[in-house]
Structure 1
Amino acid sequence: MTWGWEYVPDEETVAAGAPRAFLDEVGKKADELVRAAEALYLHGPGYQGMDEGAKHAFVLGGFFVYMITPRSELVSIWQVTPDPLP
């Protein structure tokens, strides 16, 4: 396996209607989170601890809710919330 990120259940459901520039920022931050998780959980599939739970990440244009699952080597994004003002 290799680390990655994805929208859960899918991008269409999670990010519908969000501005493209904001989603680009979400993608950049998600890439950073993947690199950090990969370094922190060197043996992800063998991880025996508890998952960290849901967290918030703030980016230009809003924020998103994500969770790191070491055993699946996955950063899952559950919700994106763009700022209401442009």
Structure 2
Amino acid sequence: MSTKHEVRRKITLTEDEETGLWSAVDEEEGVASQGETRHEALENLDKAVALYKGEIGREPTDEELREVGIEPEDNETGGELPDVLN
């Protein structure tokens, strides 16, 4: 017998009347995303939450950093967030 584990999340979903874009916010995690449809906004939110939790994604390689103009030796992870992100 298998059991399903149901995860409940409080999500706010809104449509911008001017642009028609949908915004989805996971209230518990404080993560937001958007999409052209409700479905797309929710899919993007799932990916954003997974990235936030470290469930998907990876650190960039030194080569990838150099391609965008960042010297790997100067790249630091962690520390305090900028005021705008607090």
TM range (shorter): under 0.3
Higher percent of residues as helix: 1
Q: What TM-score does the superposition give when structure 1 sets the normalisation length?
A: 0.26
Q: What TM-score does the superposition give when structure 2 sets the normalisation length?
A: 0.26
Higher percent of residues as strand: 1
Higher relative contact order (CA 8 A, sep 6+): 1
